[in-house]
Amino acid sequence: MNYVLIGMPSCGKSTVGVLLAKEIGFDFLDVDILLQSRAGKRIQAILDDEGLEAFKKIEEDTLCSIDVDRTVISTGGSAVYSGKGMRNVKKNATVIYISVPLEEIYARIENLKSRGIAGLSEKHFAKIYLERKALYEKYADITVDGTGLVKDELLKAILKAIR
């Protein structure tokens, strides 16, 4: 049994994922870090050097390679674009969507241009948010409202939702 965290960049997936794993005695896996390790470069560099389609392929391959148990998995914000990858991580997992409004996400991201947000060079951030929101809702087993929550509050909300 795993827990998979999905949501926009800066919604708290990685930060709270580590805390959640510690709290419930699971391992923690950050898909973005795994992807960067495999590619040998940062996400923004992959997008800049190889383009969006190459990045999506690397991300899908990374998602499809995951075979773990008793792990909290923090996905990249764009993971939901890969149906194949999401089906793989969802196999033995509860998927938790951390929902945060666009305005709050936008305010939290200090490094929008260098953050490594897939599709940002082709589309406005608000359009990406709306596209992904529909996909997050599609794949989520549980939605946790993270609006205005600091990490400890978000952790409590997730723990309440899964218990």
Give the CATH number for residue 50: 3.40.50.300
| Residue 158 within any structural domain of the chain | no
Write down the pLDDT at residue 1. Answer: 96
Measure the CA–CA gap between 34 and 39, rounded to whole angstroms.
Answer: 9
| Residue 65 within any structural domain of the chain | yes
C-alpha dist (Å) from residue 83 to 24, 109, 111 = 28, 26, 28
| Residue 162 within any structural domain of the chain | no
Phi, psi of 145 (to 5 degrees): -80, 110
| Residue 33 within any structural domain of the chain | yes
One pLDDT digit (tens) per residue for the chain, 163 residues? 999 999 999 999 999 999 999 999 999 999 999 999 999 999 989 988 998 899 999 999 999 999 999 999 999 999 999 999 999 999 999 999 999 999 999 888 876 665 667 766 677 888 999 999 999 999 999 999 999 999 999 999 999 999 9
Place of tokens 């075979």: 67
C-alpha dist (Å) from residue 96 to 72, 122, 162 = 10, 28, 9
- Which residues, other chains included, contact 96 with Cβ-Cβ below 8 Å and sequence gap of 6+? 3, 4, 5, 6, 140, 141, 142, 143, 144, 158, 161, 162
| Residues making up the chain, counted from first to last | 163
| Residue 54 within any structural domain of the chain | yes
| Residue 75 within any structural domain of the chain | yes
**1 contacts 70 by C-beta, under 8 angstroms:** yes
Q: Which domain holds residue 77?
A: 2-150
pTM: 0.94
| Residue 155 within any structural domain of the chain | no
C-alpha dist (Å) from residue 156 to 3, 77, 128 = 15, 22, 28
Place of tokens 């991201």: 109
Cβ atoms within 10 Å, residue 139: 18
**35 contacts 82 by C-beta, under 8 angstroms:** no
| Residue 160 within any structural domain of the chain | no
Q: What would you report as the CA-atom Rg of the chain, rounded to the nearest whole angstrom? A: 15
Say how many domains are in the chain. 1
